[in-house]
Amino acid sequence: MATASLRIDLDAILSNWRALDALTDTATELGAVVKADSYGLGAARVARMLARAGCRTFFVACAEEGAAVRQALGEGPRIFIFAGHCAGDTEMIGDLGLTPVLNSPEQMTRHFEALPRHDFGIQLDTGMNRLGFEAEDWATAAPALLQAGPKLIMSHLYCADDPAHPANAAQLAEFRRMTEGMNVPRSLAATGGIVLGKDYHFDITRPGMGMYGGMPFADATPVVTLSLPVIQVRDVRPGETVGYSAAWTAERPSRVATLAAGYADGISRRLGNLAQVWFGDTPCPVIGRISMDLITVDITDLDETPKELDLLNHRQGVDALADLIGTIGYEILTSLGHRYARQYCGGNP
């Protein structure tokens, strides 16, 4: 088979969710972020597993994602939409019982006119300048919004991956100032905020990347293994080159394996001549350019010809791969392509 295999350990996701719960204040509800199809790992399966384990609050990016999660979960669990009540979303939000997190006076007007008795949340901008009511708009809108009974008031930390950054304390203070005395559940912390400590936890936390095995949760259990099949092996003489642009030249008699994956599968071209793949505990260097569908690897030092090699495993997680090319594990994980044969293990709480 020439299809790479992406193995997803649902037990590891559940273990990470529970480990983050253990870090969370006992009075705080632990939700789960399942946006972007659970960061590319399959929102339906992940959400169902977490619901069986007791999770009752889920967060997605947009109404369409909320519809898919509602179909997987059925009635009951709350599904908040970070993007809010956007134009064209009314029927979906109303019919499926989704909860938009209103971000602006325009969304407030749209929601109150279209679904006047429907649940909603509120997002406040505490310094990120991305989504949410700014302080001036919030001061004007707060009386009407609070009278209508929001289910949640939230904001989003923008430097939580750097615990020493002064923006964290500044946002915490601003969030408290903007919500002081309001009898509404509050949420400020995603994974990074959970790790920052209980001052940031409030009533509901929103773990995402840490649940899927990545930073900023340093103690996360690895979740994914990406195995790339070997479809051809050849001998290369010293002085011969491999791949586009002759980007690698053999300095010794070499054995080169060609693997069935490439940048069409979300493997960045920047990893060429830089990354390693693994055969058990033995690393093998990626050589030459990453092609659309193929990767070449030097396997000269292996004692046998492998059938597959791992790009992601317990030896090399998404953050280690991201560090090689100056990006973040989030991008590596969410870029994993649709051509992979996804295989799931575990998932029974």
Counting Cα atoms < 13 Å in the Cβ hemisphere of 174 gives 19
In a 10 Å sphere around its CB, with 0-12 CB exposed, 13-18 middle and 19+ buried, how is residue 303 labelled? exposed
35 is known as an active-site residue: yes
Cβ-Cβ contacts under 8 Å for 146 (sequence gap 6 or more): 182, 184
Q: Which of 39, 200, 244, 263 is catalytic?
A: 244
HEC-encoded secondary structure of the chain = CCCCEEEEEHHHHHHHHHHHHHHCCCCCEECEECHHHHHHCCHHHHHHHHHHCCCCEEEECCHHHHHHHHHHHCCCCEEEECCCCCCCCHHHHHHHCCEEEECCHHHHHHHHHHCCCCCCEEEECCCCCCCCECHHHHHHHHHHHHHCCCCCEECCCCCCCCCCCHHHHHHHHHHHHHHCCCCCCEECCEHHHHHHCHHHCCCEEECCHHHHCCCCCCCCCCCEEEEEEEEEEEEECCCCEECHHHCEECCCCEEEEEEECCHHHCCCHHHCCCCEEEECCEEEEEECCCCCCEEEEECCCCCCCCCEEEEECCCCCHHHHHHHCCCCHHHHHHCCCCCCEEEEECCCC
* Cα distances (angstroms) measured from residue 37 to each of 31, 69, 89, 336: 16, 9, 19, 11
**Annotated catalytic, 307?**
no
State the catalytic residue, choosing from 35, 200, 263, 340: 35
Catalytic residues: 35, 244
